[in-house]
């Protein structure tokens, strides 16, 4: 192995069709006397993730196995490809182009993903994220990998 090989990803596992998370703007509510609490869209997303996990149990087990193999010298890396429907992304109801911040949907996805895997997201050291257009349903392809800490 050459010097460049030590920084390569060692193990990766990919899940496709992961539920599209809500915008970060819709995750929390500020309730007087209680503070910041999960909003209805966040709770709905948590349920969607649970359903996805039941339907994709083998993928969930693969992620858990991957995390179980992590050594002290390895970090978790996440690659997310958000797939937005090209028909709905082009314009809003008022006819103006729709704005989709790239990082706006990461919070809920990362939090829910790591809850179902059963590990704290503090072990996540790297995130790569992209937007893609599709004619199919809006969803995310998620790849979790172990990579050496450099």
Is residue 40 domain-resident?
yes
SS3 84: strand
How confident is the model over 79-130, as pLDDT tens digits?
999 998 877 666 677 766 566 778 889 999 999 999 999 999 999 999 999 9
Residue 111 lies in domain = 7-148
Q: Is residue 127 part of a domain?
A: yes
**Residue 49 belongs to a domain:** yes
Q: What is the tally of structural domains in the chain? A: 1
| DSSP assignment letter at 53 | H
CA distance linking residue 104 with residue 109, whole number of Å: 10
Decide if 57 is inside a domain. Answer: yes
pTM exceeds 0.95, yes or no: no
Question: What is the structure's pLDDT at 96?
Answer: 65
Residue 48 domain flag = yes
Looking at residue 90, what is its pLDDT? 62
pLDDT at 4: 43
Q: Taking Cα atoms as reference points, which of 83, 86, 100 lies closest to residue 141? A: 83
Domain annotation covers residue 66: yes
pLDDT at 5 over 60: no
3-state class of 49 per DSSP? helix
- Residue 1: inside a domain: no
Looking up residue 62, the CATH number of its domain turns out to be 3.30.1330.70
Per-residue pLDDT reduced to its tens digit, 125-141 = 999 999 888 889 999 99
15-67 pLDDT, tens digit per residue, is 899 999 998 888 999 999 999 999 999 999 999 999 999 999 999 999 999 99
Residue 94: predicted pLDDT: 79
């Amino acid at each position: 192995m050459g010097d460049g090989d030590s920084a390569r990803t060692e193990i990766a596992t990919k899940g496709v069709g992961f539920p599209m998370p809500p915008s970060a703007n819709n995750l929390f509510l500020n309730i007087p006397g209680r503070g910041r609490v999960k909003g209805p869209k966040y709770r709905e997303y948590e349920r969607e993730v649970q359903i996805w996990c039941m339907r994709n149990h083998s993928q969930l087990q693969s992620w858990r196995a991957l995390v179980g193999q992590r050594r002290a010298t390895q970090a978790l890396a996440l690659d997310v490809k958000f797939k937005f429907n090209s028909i709905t992304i082009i314009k809003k109801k008022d006819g103006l182009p729709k704005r989709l911040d790239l990082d706006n949907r990461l919070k809920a996805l990362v939090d829910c993903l790591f809850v179902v895997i059963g590990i704290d997201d503090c072990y996540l050291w790297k995130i790569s994220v992209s937007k893609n257009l599709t004619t199919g349903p809006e969803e995310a392809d998620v790849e979790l990998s172990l990579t050496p800490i450099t």
